[in-house]
Chains A and B, each alone.
Chain A
Amino acid sequence: MKWHPFELHTHTPHSDGTHTLLEMCKQAKELGLSGIALTDHNTVSGLIDSDEVTKETGVAIIPGMEWTTFYGHMLTLGAPYCEWRDLGPADIGKGIERVHQKGGIVGIAHPYSMGSPICTGCHWEYEITDWNQIDYIEVWHETMPSLRNHNAQAFRLWTDLLNQGFRIAATAGRDWHRSDNDKNLAAYTYLGIEDSEPLSALSVVDAISRGRLCISMGPLLLFKILSDQRAYGIGEVIGRTGEERKRALTINVSLQQANIPERQWIATEAHSVIIESNQGELCRGPLSGEDFQFSETIEADNLLWVRARLYGLQEGLLATLAFTNPIYLESH
């Protein structure tokens, strides 16, 4: 498995962005990104340049769109244009079905942003009858995401849904409209893709569908759970029988530096790893050693999910620096 940093929420002049696809991908390259998803508002016309831009910059471009509707903004990935203009506030399930039938996935963009008339349709107001239809939620939006109010609410929504037993992925999205020299950093969405797989709409959709994601301001935070001689990675499901449920689990966390120098400061600051779950915090501790490891054995019953969160200083401010998507548990 190789983990590729992506930016999953971007715009160009094909909607209201000011940088061309080429300008954006050149900057993406400098930021160390392997790929971006082009998610212009309500159109897919910007993809016309994507082959050429990928050839020139080496940055993979995944087709997407941001449904920019009256009742919410919804990101789609891996699907062509799907119709949204005939949908009312109770019809989003019908709309999501259209995207799924075309092989795409959907994510709620910035669910707690200000709504109309301040930002038209930006606050999620669609009625969701089946959360299983939602593939991901953009819980970190814009630059410096862990410091923004509306993201705290989105992160809580995601955690509440995980607690209810839904398996929904979490992503970050810069909502990138211009390539300026913004000193504020955006997060990476690292996607776990098999070594043999190319970076494509198919492999990106697969990674998100399987919950293989780590969201980070820089370093790649990975964790594994060892259960009965087997190691389970992010997104995997540990199935246990009633007896096995009582056995202790070993958690191994590791941190890898980002591949660009500007982001490496993060791993040198004071920080700790917090292991959290539907039962709350399970344990915490510092990362140690040259390769930043943390290991702990936990005994907990009734676990539905476990994730790792890296907490520490980001340019002097205490904040969440990275978090993984969960490893899930179920009992047969």
Chain B
Amino acid sequence: MHELLAVEGKLYPSSSKTHITYQFHIPTPLPSLQIDFQYAPKKSEDKSGSRRLIEQSIEQYVHPSMQAAYMDKWEQYMPLQNLLTISVDDPSEFRGSAHRHPEKQSYLLATSSASPGFIPGAILEGIWRITISVHCVVTPDCNYLLRVTEGEQHL
């Protein structure tokens, strides 16, 4: 199983609303591409910190006349969670994304099929890109691992 990319990184709340793009080269067409991605922690355990963030959100996003009612029910938004999603671009086109919550994800892209969210098609030689969209980091830090390998089998 040939490894094409293996990276890890550490994110902070200030990493929220950023994209991290890795680009790597595929020298010859492949039958399939395996992507494994995970990050941790997923949920914030910090109750008072979360409460502060929720109250800030209510002040920012709720109509002033309704804010008091929302403040009373701040706990309905617990726990706050980190959200990182990945998307893939082949040498010429967008090949899909996985906008979903689980903190451990594995995907296969192949010529005639692909995991949900991704678009089947040839795994051509050239520069490929995988983008981690950091929608939100609410924990003091958040570690991720991304690994791309030549797929073991056709889907």
Contacts and interface: CB of A to CB of B under 8 A. Distances in A.
Interface in B82-123: 83, 85, 87, 94, 96-101, 114, 116-120
Nearest to A71: B17
A283 interface: no
A43 B116 CA distance: 10
Contacts of A81: 94
A151 B135 CA distance: 24
B136 to A, nearest CB: 5
B79 to A, nearest CB: 10
Interface stretch (B29-37, B58-66, B141-149): B58-66
Given A14-B116, A15-B117, A118-B80, A43 B57 contact: no
Interface size class of B (residues with CB under 8 A): 35 or more
Interface in B27-59: 53-54, 57-58
Main secondary structure of the interface of A (DSSP, over half): loop
A248 B27 CA distance: 74
A241 interface: no
A45 B85 contact: no
A114 B57 contact: yes
Contacts, number: 89
B68 to A, nearest CB: 13
Contacts of A68: 99
Give the residue among A46, A81, A115, A117 with the most B Cβ atoms within 10 A.
A117
A125 to B, nearest CB: 9
Contacts of A264: none
B100 A16 contact: yes
A13 B138 CA distance: 25
A113 B83 CA distance: 18
Given A15-B100, A68-B99, A116-B136, A45 B118 contact: yes
Given A70-B17, A85-B87, A116 B62 contact: no
B57 A14 contact: no
Contacts of A34: none
Contacts of A42: 85, 87, 97, 99
B101 A16 contact: yes
Given A112-B61, A117-B53, A118-B77, 5 more contacts: A14-B116, A15-B100, A45-B96, A70-B135, A117-B16
Interface of A: 12-16, 40-46, 48, 68, 70-71, 81, 83, 85, 112-118, 120-121, 123, 149, 153
Q: Which 3 A-B pairs have the closest CB atoms?
A: A41-B99, A120-B135, A70-B17
